[in-house]
Each structure stands twice: as C-alpha cells, then as structure tokens.
C-alpha cells in the first residue's frame, strides 16, 4: 500500500478533528447517527483559515 499524498493526509487530519473531536468548535451539530449535511461540512471548511 502506498502512502497518501501529503495533502490527503492533512485533509484526513482536519476532517477527523472537525467531525470526531471538536464539531462544536466549528458550529456543527451531528445527528443521532453521527452525520451532518455535506453543505454544513463544506461551509465549516470554507470558514476555516488554511483549509
């Protein structure tokens, strides 16, 4: 298995932090199954500097 390109690894880290560790920090509220609408995810990413 090859290593992920750096940009994909960085994106994975951001998504893990955003969705698993601190969704409240980004104004995200996950539903009972742990999902959010993709539009909300994209808006949170767009509002974050450096993403």
For residue 21, is it within any domain? yes
40 belongs to a structural domain: yes
Which whole number is the average pLDDT over 37-43? Answer: 94
pLDDT score for 2: 63
- For range 3-15, the mean pLDDT: 86
Task: Provide the domain count of the chain.
Answer: 1
* Res. 1: pLDDT tops 70: no
Assigned domain for 1 exists: no
In-domain check, residue 39: yes
- The answer as to whether 28 is a domain residue is yes
User: Helix, strand or coil for residue 25?
Assistant: helix
State yes or no: pLDDT of 8 exceeds 80: yes
pLDDT digits (tens, 9 = 90+) for 12-39: 998 999 999 999 998 999 999 999 999 9
Q: Which domain holds residue 38?
A: 6-47
């Amino acid at each position: 298995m090859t290593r992920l390109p750096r940009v994909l690894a960085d994106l994975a880290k951001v998504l893990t932090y955003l969705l698993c560790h601190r969704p409240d920090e980004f104004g995200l509220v996950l539903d009972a199954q742990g999902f959010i609408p993709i539009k909300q995810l994209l808006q949170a990413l767009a509002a974050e500097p450096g993403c």
